[in-house]
Amino acid sequence: MASRNRKSRQQFEPQDVGTLWTLRRDEYTSRCTLLSWSPDWELRVVMEKDILLAKRCRTTADAFELAEHWRLGLLEHGWEQIIPMAPHPSMLRTRKRNGAAVSHGTPAI
């Protein structure tokens, strides 16, 4: 019976995969968390215990793109990044410049 309860609970509770970025403005701190709702992903921007933004995404690329969109929007409104976010491989584009490969994407801050 315990395994059945665990299995049904897994269907209704997302698994916290981690924090993608953390920003601060004045005394406030917000973070973007990535949750797995197999097979989907959910992003949440959380301040303390309040969920400010939440959205489900079908692919990891969509989730990372949305996280970056939200991060840039908050930075434009005076928030500062306190924990860097490395670019996700799906966010990088490679092109040739003078024979050398050059990656373009969001640099780690």
Predicted structure pTM score: 0.66
3-state secondary structure of 15: strand
% of residues, the chain, pLDDT over 70: 65
Using the predicted structure, report yes or no on whether residue 86 has a pLDDT greater than 80. no
Q: What is the pLDDT of residue 72?
A: 97
Token representation of residue 26: 């004045």
Q: CB of 34 within 8 A of CB of 54?
A: no
The full set of domain ranges for the chain reads 2-104
Contacts of 35 (CB under 8 A, 6+ apart): 14, 15, 16, 17, 41, 42, 43, 44
Element containing residue 10 per DSSP (H, E): helix 2-12
Using pLDDT thresholds of 50, 70 and 90, give the confidence band for residue 102. Answer: very low
Q: What is the pLDDT of residue 59?
A: 94
Using the predicted structure, report yes or no on whether residue 1 has a pLDDT greater than 90. no
